[in-house]
Amino acid sequence: MTTKYSEDHEYIRLEGTDGTVGISNFAQGQLGDIVFVELPAVGTTFKKGDEAAVVESVKAASEIYTPVSGTITAVNDALDGEPALVNADAEGAGWLFKLSVSDPSELDGLMDEKTYASHNE
């Protein structure tokens, strides 16, 4: 399992050609208390960089972009009733959506965990 990060603070955790996408722990900390999450519809296809979801906090609303191109295969329905899961476990139970990656070469442009950590210093 590999995790990559975008400059916009999304992560994608890969298992084969399937990816789980969410916002990084750093991003949820910057946003503050998350009060609402708007998720994409299963079956929707996005290109890398497309807006796929919105996370609203007490501070602001933030667009969530797909770090790679693909088709949505699942969304985290638990966030409907408990959007604060993103704050509690952003890179675990607070994931946003899963997608089938259509162009694995796009992953090359993302950062590994070490590079991402230094990017936020």
**CATH architecture, domain defined by 2-102:** Beta Barrel (2.40)
What are the structural domain ranges in the chain? 2-102
Contact 70, 19 (CB under 8 A): yes
Contact 53, 97 (CB under 8 A): yes
pLDDT tens track, the chain, 121 positions? 899 999 999 999 999 999 999 999 999 999 999 999 999 999 999 999 999 999 999 988 999 999 999 999 999 999 999 999 999 999 999 999 999 999 999 999 999 999 999 988 8
Q: pTM for the complete prediction?
A: 0.96
